[in-house]
């Protein structure tokens, strides 16, 4: 077995473990409520040790962060048709990602979003996710536009795109149409006049 293939298997195993822990946690959150669920209970339900839990998630609130959605959106963004503007390409990626979600995945994502935006304990993790998302979009914009990664326009654009997601998701259930409308509004230059 080649080292590259072995590394792929390790990464797949890590991803499977993360998802098993996340699924076990959400089952417990539904049964016991988020505040009443301990890391020890989650670890036991996922058949791992609490120490292993912390290798995958630094806190219980980190389970709520949609890190499993970021990489597919960035990948779709980079593969979007070249004629699309950067914001239209991002809208395309987000729409594709939501279109690929089936019933159980959609239900789980909606439950996670409800918790994420209503639990004060998740605020710090959510903020860090937004910062990381801005960095990832900045890098993807630099690649897509063939611009230097330190071009300040990229970070500003990435921040605006992330801001659309924040505004569309905060305290509401996921509404892909609202995200698309927000990205369209941004792509049109934020026309506030009627």
Q: What is the CATH number of domain 63-187?
A: 1.10.357.10
Give the residue extent of every domain in the chain: 3-57, 63-187
* Helix 176-187 and helix 86-99, axial crossing angle in degrees, nearest 10: 170
Q: What is the pLDDT of residues 5-29, one digit of tens each?
A: 445 888 888 888 998 998 899 889 8
Instruction: Decide: helix, strand or coil at residue 48.
Output: coil
Sign of the four-CA dihedral 131, 116, 31, 26: negative
Q: What is the spatial distance between Cα 43 and Cα 60, in angstroms, rounded to a whole number?
A: 11
Tokens linked to 131: 């910062």
How distant, in Å, are the alpha carbons of 20, 38, 65, 188 from that of 47? 9, 14, 21, 50
Residue 38 predicted with pLDDT over 70: yes
What does the pLDDT read at residue 194?
A: 62
Q: What is the pLDDT of residues 66-96, one digit of tens each?
A: 777 888 899 999 999 999 999 999 999 999 9
CATH of 3-57, one of 1.10.10.60, 3.40.50.1820, 3.40.50.1110, 3.30.360.10: 1.10.10.60
What does the pLDDT read at residue 2?
A: 39
Q: Do domains 3-57 and 63-187 have the same CATH topology?
A: no
> What DSSP line would sit under 89-149, residue for residue?
HHHHHHHHHHHT--HHHHHHHHHHHHHHHH-GGGHHHHHHHHHHHHHHHHHHHHHHHT--T
The mean of the pLDDT values for the chain is: 88
Q: pTM for the full model?
A: 0.80
What does the pLDDT read at residue 69?
A: 81
In contact, 180 and 115? CB cutoff 8 Å: no
Instruction: Compare 103 and 38 and report the one with higher pLDDT.
Output: 38
Place 1 in a pLDDT band, splitting at 50, 70 and 90: very low
Which of 11-25, 144-158, 174-188 is predicted most confidently? 144-158
10 Å CB burial of residue 101 (0-12, 13-18, 19+) is middle
Place 55 in a pLDDT band, splitting at 50, 70 and 90: very high
């Amino acid at each position: 077995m080649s080292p590259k293939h072995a590394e792929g298997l390790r990464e797949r195993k890590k991803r499977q473990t993360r998802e098993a822990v996340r699924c076990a946690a959400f089952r417990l959150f539904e049964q016991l409520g988020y505040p009443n669920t301990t890391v020890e209970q989650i670890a036991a339900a996922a058949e791992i040790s609490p120490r292993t839990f912390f290798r995958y998630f630094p806190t219980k609130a980190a389970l709520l962060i949609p890190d499993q959605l970021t990489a597919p959106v960035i990948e779709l963004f980079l593969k979007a048709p070249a004629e699309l503007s950067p914001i239209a390409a991002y809208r395309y990626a987000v729409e594709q990602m939501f279109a690929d979600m089936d019933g159980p995945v959609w239900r789980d994502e909606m439950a996670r979003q409800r918790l994420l935006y209503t639990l004060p304990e998740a605020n710090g993790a959510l903020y860090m996710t937004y910062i990381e998302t801005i960095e990832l979009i900045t890098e993807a914009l630099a690649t897509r536009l063939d611009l230097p990664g330190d071009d300040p326009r990229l970070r500003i654009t990435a921040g605006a795109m992330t801001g659309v997601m924040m505004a569309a998701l905060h305290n509401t259930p996921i509404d892909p149409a609202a995200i698309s409308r927000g990205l369209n509004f941004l792509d049109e230059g934020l026309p506030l006049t009627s």
